[in-house]
Structure 1
Amino acid sequence: MSKPYALVVDDHPMVANSIAAFLNTHCGYKRAYVAASRQECDRFIEEKGSPQLLVLDFWLPDGTALQLIRELLQKASTIRLLVISGDENNNVQHKAREVGAHGFVHKHDSPQVFNCAVTALQNGQFWFPETSDPALLPSSLPHFQTFGLTQRQTEVLAMMLRGFSNKRIAIALAVSEPTIKEHITSILSKLGVTNRVEAITLLQGQRPTL
């Protein structure tokens, strides 16, 4: 049986190789390969078996990756599919989710957010940026306050777990980024963790379905 590996499918070499290197150094994959097209992707899978994680650019040289996502899931339902894109159109992530992708990350998101997304998928969860009003999220998370969090910290934590950057949280709550950073420092301290990835792991199973 082949060992678990990750595969990055993106026709931009610098982007693809950077993601593969990050998967090696931060996400626990001893093997992470790069494919520049759906044809190369198919060849990798034929030769090495199905990857545990496949990071897939939404826009490939011959069009969108939607059909490829369908085909991959038909061939191997155990693959965890994380779609990435620099496109700001929310329809991109919605379309990816509709055909079966397990997560979506914007290319302008921070490495920390990408790491959180990968961790979520590795744990059998989903990762899609929330497009509804983020200020409404905490109403479904009252149990987070059992960690001694204030209402505002609960709001910030809910958005952290959905992949919001500090800037997006600040805009949503109409406060400054430094204020959000202060909240996050306090949240991590109360949870007894040092970063967002550890927070995701701690709260595994408590995080709402996305």
Structure 2
Amino acid sequence: MDNKIRVGVVDDHPLYRDGVVFTLAAQPDIEVVGQGASAADAVRIAQDHKPDVLVLDMTMPGGGLSAIATIAQSHPSVRTLMLTVVADEDQVCTALKQGAGGYLLKGTSGPELVQTVRLISQGENYVSPNLAAKLLMRSGSGPAREEKRPDRFSGLTPREEQILSILVEGHSNKEIGNKLDLSEKTIKHHLTNILQKLQVRNRVEAALLASDRMSHRSHTAR
């Protein structure tokens, strides 16, 4: 298949790395172009192979966060996906701020890993649902946030509200389009408007904000 998604995999546990490589390489639309075991290897693969997606372990020698920051600055076209056992919301937030496109736990299924790589290669962002829930709980619902929320959402059209409600469920642009019988290009256009109106940087932040509002409404209704 032409135009395969080119992926690099960096993890200092050879057996686990081999499993990730096997899972990804088995897909007809994915090609594994490089492997490594350290932050230095990650930077080297980004420089030498320019993969579309680089799957990184958080706790590898040299540090995954350090690798993300370097790659984001030196090779911005290379998108990074953290794959780790660390379910720590502080590290999730830091990784996303450093430029990571996604954050998955190592207990994830093969199909979820494959789908996430595909989403990240398309420029989208993804965080494991259980981690997203932790971020949501951490965000809180204090008075200051409550004052801003109505203003942010009041500008959304009914269609944008509909798209946002499906986005919260973790669906890709293509899946949202299929549900609403709209083209993927149309969904991307709506999402751009949604991000601007909600004053967020990416779909992950939009989903968290929308989930926060839904959670608040649920508690208020009790």
TM-score (norm 1): 0.62
Contact 2:33 2:51 in 1 (8 A): no
Contact 1:20 1:33 in 2 (8 A): no
CA change 1:111–1:76 in 2 (3 A) is: same
TM-score (norm 2): 0.59
Residue matched to 2:42: 41
Residue matched to 1:24: 25
Contact 1:38 1:68 in 2 (8 A): yes
Write the letter of the residue equivalent to 2:49: G
Q: Report the Cα offset of residue 144 of structure 1.
A: 5.5
More helix per residue: 1 or 2? 2
CA change 1:33–1:98 in 2 (3 A) is: same
Contact 1:57 1:85 in 2 (8 A): yes
Q: Provide the rounded CA distance (Å) in 2 between the counterparts of 1:97 and 1:113.
A: 19
CA change 1:70–1:5 in 2 (3 A) is: same
CA change 1:61–1:126 in 2 (3 A) is: same
Contact 1:58 1:65 in 2 (8 A): yes
Aligned length: 158
Residue matched to 1:15: 16
Contact 1:86 1:108 in 2 (8 A): yes
Contact 1:70 1:100 in 2 (8 A): yes
Q: Percent identity?
A: 20
Question: 1:158 and 2:173 equivalent?
Answer: no
Q: Provide the rounded CA distance (Å) in 1 between the counterparts of 2:177 and 2:7.
A: 20
CA change 1:104–1:6 in 2 (3 A) is: same
Q: Report the Cα offset of residue 158 of structure 1.
A: 3.5
Question: 1:58 and 2:61 equivalent?
Answer: no
Residue matched to 1:172: none
Q: Report the Cα offset of residue 88 of structure 1.
A: 2.0
Q: What CA deviation, in whole Å up to 9, does each residue of 1:175-197 have, x standing for no partner? A: xxxxxxxxxxxxxxxxxxxxxx9
Where does structure 2 lack aligned partners over 5 or more consecutive residues? 138-152, 195-202, 205-222
Residue matched to 1:70: 69
RMSD: 3.2
CA change 1:202–1:82 in 2 (3 A) is: farther
Write the letter of the residue equivalent to 2:171: L
Write the letter of the residue equivalent to 2:15: M
CA change 1:144–1:95 in 2 (3 A) is: closer
Q: For 2:70, what is the secondary structure of its paired residue?
A: helix
CA change 1:30–1:119 in 2 (3 A) is: closer
Write the letter of the residue equivalent to 2:127: F
What does residue range 1-210 of structure 1 map to in structure 2 within 5 Å?
5-26=6-27, 28-46=29-47, 48-62=48-62, 64-129=63-128, 130-131=132-133, 132=136, 142-143=161-162, 158-161=168-171, 199=175, 202=178, 204=184, 205=187, 209-210=203-204
Q: Provide the rounded CA distance (Å) in 1 between the counterparts of 2:25 and 2:93.
A: 28
Contact 1:56 1:84 in 2 (8 A): yes
Q: Report the Cα offset of residue 66 of structure 1.
A: 1.4
Q: Report the Cα offset of residue 31 of structure 1.
A: 3.2
Q: Report the Cα offset of residue 38 of structure 1.
A: 2.1
CA change 1:14–1:200 in 2 (3 A) is: farther
Where does structure 1 lack aligned partners over 5 or more consecutive residues? 134-138, 146-153, 163-196
